């Protein structure tokens, strides 16, 4: 029978944008919405449309007008609200009042707001939630402090109204004034992904990986960075580190800092060793993870609260080099000397030294690669994330109707494990009322190697 719910819980996610718009929050909202819908929930997403009438991305364009568009995405109803202007991180959405009015006429059980998201935050503050409110606090506002002061009273109002607030890692809570103010409402629920494309790559992805290895073999290792070219990603550290290690750095992402980074690479004499990919298909991205010696994640501020691309890399068997950002979940997602290497923030010499270790020590890289795949499958599947959030919704609305019920290991989880460990592993995921739900985790036939991997990701 698989996975389902005894009555379809109705949830409306309020996001910033929605893929193909790039970004960690955008990817998370789609993954969560799809996984919840696959389990039988009635899911819709309301967000800003980032594309104009001819399909051009105008996210960073102040007066880039976009139309309102509605469509379905793998069982998820998506409403992309058209905007008339964009300034100070705020999108002006003429249709938002009409859409909210329509949503009130077709009630949902839970409204799930994803922040930081000034546009939807102000809308919820002004129009008031019409159902219990759950907030995923992806990140504090770190850089735009003056702008944040203007939004802070509205944020406090909305957070006071929330029934639950989700943090993606426990490490992040201690450094967040807003979360500490609401500590009694905060729950830690790690983000997850559909891991199957990374754990079991397609033929096209494997072919792409082989083509990359052949193309760059004479240049040394392939290093990879994935994410928008924005201030907190720390790509300047990566480019400076590249001066001290051989190889080619592939950066997948667009953003307002891209031109600055290009100039920096040219100034430092490594411009010919940086490949700028504004976009990659799923097969291209998966293939590049499998070809790369390591993912470089040099993010330097708590705006990087989790680093979801780390999970993609780990599931692909690509170790991660990240930075020890205080009160961020980044170094918890990929752990030092277990699934990758962690270095001090903004230290390009330490970053280069870590990369040099991986390039020079194939056994170290292989050990980290195996443990990375294990940890990704153990902790960060979309199925596990969906079950946890549906359980949270059930507690918020105080009804058993939303509780997932199944008589088999969820297909997404067991499939994720199939390439990592043999057998049909099971473990207890979390308390579920008076019963406990069993899903895939550690193998029943525990061998010495599997015990080592379990210790590596704990």
pLDDT at 104: 86
Domain residues for the domain of 252 are: 196-379
Are 159 and 201 in the same domain? no
Answer yes or no: is 404 within a domain: no
The confidence score (pLDDT) of residue 127 equals 85
Task: Phi first, then psi: give them for residue 330, nearest 5 degrees.
Answer: -55, -50
For residue 407, tell me if it sits in a domain: no
Domain assignment of residue 7, yes or no: yes
Q: Is residue 338 a part of any domain in this protein?
A: yes
Domain membership flag for residue 391: no
What residue has token string 């979360």? 179
Tell me which residue of 63, 80, 154 sits closest to 117, measured CA to CA.
Answer: 154
Same domain, yes or no: 171 and 236: no
401 occurs within a structural domain: no
Run means of pLDDT, 10 residues per run, the chain, 458 residues: 58 96 90 95 96 86 88 97 84 92 89 94 89 94 72 93 94 91 94 94 98 95 96 97 98 95 98 95 97 98 92 97 95 97 98 98 97 94 93 86 42 38 32 33 41 54
Q: Are residues 39 and 82 in the same domain?
A: yes
Bridge partners for 296 per DSSP = 321
Q: Is residue 402 part of a domain?
A: no
3-state class (DSSP) for residue 329: coil
- Which pLDDT does position 451 carry in this prediction? 52
- What global pTM score does this model have? 0.78
**Confidence at residue 112, expressed as pLDDT on a 0 to 100 scale:** 98
pLDDT value at residue 131: 92
The answer for 155, left when phi > 0, alpha when psi is -120 to 50, beta otherwise, is alpha
Exposure of 240 by Cβ count < 10 A (0-12 exposed, 13-18 middle, 19+ buried)? buried
| Residue 313 and residue 333 in one domain | yes
CATH of the domain at 52: 3.40.50.2000
Of 329, 358, 379, the residue that ends a domain is: 379
Q: Are residues 183 and 221 in the same domain?
A: no
For residues 269 and 301, membership in a common domain is answered with yes
Give the model's pLDDT for residue 183. 92
- Contact between 390 and 164 under an 8 Å Cβ cutoff? The reply is no
Measured distance CA(323)–CA(344) in Å, rounded = 5
């Amino acid at each position: 029978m698989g996975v389902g719910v005894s009555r379809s819980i109705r949830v409306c996610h309020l996001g910033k944008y929605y893929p193909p718009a790039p970004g960690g929050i955008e990817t998370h909202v789609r993954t969560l919405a799809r996984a919840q819908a696959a389990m039988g929930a009635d899911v819709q997403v309301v967000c800003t449309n980032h594309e104009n009438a001819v399909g051009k991305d105008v996210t960073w364009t102040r007066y880039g007008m976009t139309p309102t568009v509605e469509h379905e995405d793998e069982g998820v109803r998506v409403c992309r609200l058209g905007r008339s202007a964009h300034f100070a991180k705020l999108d002006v959405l003429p249709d938002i009042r009409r859409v909210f009015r329509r949503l009130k006429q077709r009630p949902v059980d839970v409204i799930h707001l994803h922040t930081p998201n000034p546009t939807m935050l102000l809308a919820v503050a002004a129009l008031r939630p019409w159902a219990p409110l759950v907030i995923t606090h992806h990140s504090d506002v770190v850089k735009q402090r003056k702008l944040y002061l203007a939004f802070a009273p509205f944020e406090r109002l909305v957070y006071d109204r929330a029934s639950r607030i989700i943090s993606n890692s426990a490490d992040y809570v201690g450094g967040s004034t807003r979360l500490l103010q609401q500590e009694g409402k905060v729950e830690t629920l790690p983000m997850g992904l559909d891991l199957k494309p990374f754990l079991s790559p397609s033929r096209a992805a494997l072919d792409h990986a082989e083509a990359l290895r052949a193309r760059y073999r004479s240049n040394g290792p392939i290093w990879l960075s994935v994410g928008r070219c924005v201030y907190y990603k720390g790509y300047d550290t990566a480019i400076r580190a590249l001066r001290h290690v051989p190889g080619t750095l592939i950066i997948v992402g667009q953003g307002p800092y891209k031109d600055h980074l290009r100039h920096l690479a040219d100034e430092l004499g490594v411009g010919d060793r940086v490949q700028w990919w504004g976009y990659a298909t799923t097969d291209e991205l998966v293939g590049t993870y499998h070809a790369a010696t390591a993912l470089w994640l040099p993010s330097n501020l708590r705006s990087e609260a989790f680093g979801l691309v780390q999970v993609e890399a780990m599931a692909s068997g690509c170790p991660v080099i990240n930075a020890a950002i205080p009160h961020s979940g980044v170094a918890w997602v990929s752990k030092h000397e277990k699934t990758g290497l962690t270095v001090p923030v903004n230290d390009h010499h330490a970053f280069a030294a870590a990369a040099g270790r991986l390039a020079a020590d194939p056994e170290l890289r292989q050990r980290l690669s195996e443990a990375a795949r294990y940890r990704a499958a153990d902790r960060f599947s979309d199925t596990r994330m969906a079950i946890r959030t549906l359980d949270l919704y059930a507690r918020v609305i105080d009804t058993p109707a939303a509780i997932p019920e199944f008589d088999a290991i969820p297909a997404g989880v067991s499939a994720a494990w199939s390439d990592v460990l043999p057998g049909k592993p099971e473990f207890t995921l979390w308390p579920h009322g008076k019963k406990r739900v069993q899903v895939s985790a550690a193998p029943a036939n525990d061998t010495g190697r599997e015990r080592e991997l379990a210790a590596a990701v704990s």
